[in-house]
Amino acid sequence: MTARAVDELVEALGIEVDPELLVLALTHRSFAHEAGGIPTNERLEFLGDSVLGVIVTEHLYRTHPDRAEGDLAKMRAATVSQRALSVVAREMGLGEYLLLGRGEQTTGGHDKDSILCDTLEAVIGAVYLCHGLEPTRAFVERIVGGRLTDAAGLGAGLDWKTSVQELAAERGLGAPEYRIEATGPDHQRHFTSTLMLGDQSWGVGEGSAKKIAEQRAAEQAYRALEEGTASDDVPHEA
C-alpha cells in the first residue's frame, strides 16, 4: 500500500492514524496468507468491536433515558450490525484500500458486507490505540451518528426476527421456523431463508450471510402478518 493511499484514507477518516497500524487494519487474512503469514487485522477487529460496543451503548444510555433495556439493546444491534457497518464502510470508500488475496479480489471481496464490517471495526481499533477513548468516541459518533438517530425511530425494524416472533405469539401462530438454503462455493455463499409458521410460508429473504437472509425473511413476514397475507399468496422478494 502506497504512502499516498494511506494519506488519502486518513483524509477520508478525518483523524490521524499511525500508518503501520492503518495498513494492519486493512490487511485481510487472505492477503496475509499469500504474503507468507504476516499479521492480519483480526486482533484489531476484536479490539474495535469492543470499543464500538461501549461507545454506542453509552451513547444510547445517555440520550434515551426513558427507553427500556430491551429497546436499547435492539437500537444498539441495529447500529452495529454487519449490514449497517458495511454501509458506513462503503460511504467512507474503505473497500478501495483493502488488502485482499487474489481469491477474494476475484470474488468481489472489496464489496462484501462481512469484510467491510470487520475492516471498519479494525480501523476503529487502530484509532483507539492511537488516540484513546475520547477522540475515538468522537470519531465513532461522527461516522455512525446517523444510524444512532435513525435507530430511535425504527420500531419493529430494530430487530425483525424478535418483532415477528412477538407478533406471531400475540396471534397464537407459534414460533417462527427458518428454513435455510445455501448455494454457491464456500467463499461466495448465497443464502435463502424461508420463515414458516406452522406449514405456511410467511416470508422469504436472501443475502450473503444467513443472518441477513433471516432478517429479510422476518421483515417480509412481519409486514405480511400485519396485512394478513402469507407469502404463499404473494410474489417473493429477493
Tell me the torsion sign for CA atoms 162, 165, 168, 169: negative
Contact yes or no for 9/97 (Cβ under 8 A): yes
Spatial separation of the C-alpha atoms in residues 176 and 161, rounded to whole Å: 9
Catalytic residue selected from 104, 113, 121, 159: 121
Contact yes or no for 222/160 (Cβ under 8 A): yes
18 annotated active-site: no
Q: Which helix (H) or strand (E) holds 205?
A: strand 200-207
Instruction: State yes or no: 121 annotated in a binding site.
Output: yes
Query: By C-alpha distance, which of 198, 158, 155 is closest to 176?
Result: 198
Catalytic residue selected from 49, 104, 159, 219: 49
Tell me the torsion sign for CA atoms 168, 195, 202, 199: negative
C-alpha cell at 111: 464489496
Question: What contacts 61, CB < 8 A, 6 or more positions away?
Answer: 72
Instruction: State yes or no: 45 annotated in a binding site.
Output: yes
16 annotated active-site: no
Burial of 155 (0-12, 13-18, 19+ CB in 10 A): exposed
Spatial separation of the C-alpha atoms in residues 45 and 43, rounded to whole Å: 5
Residues serving a catalytic function are 49, 121
Annotated binding residues for Mg(2+), as ranges?
45, 118, 121
Annotated binding residues, as ranges?
45, 118, 121
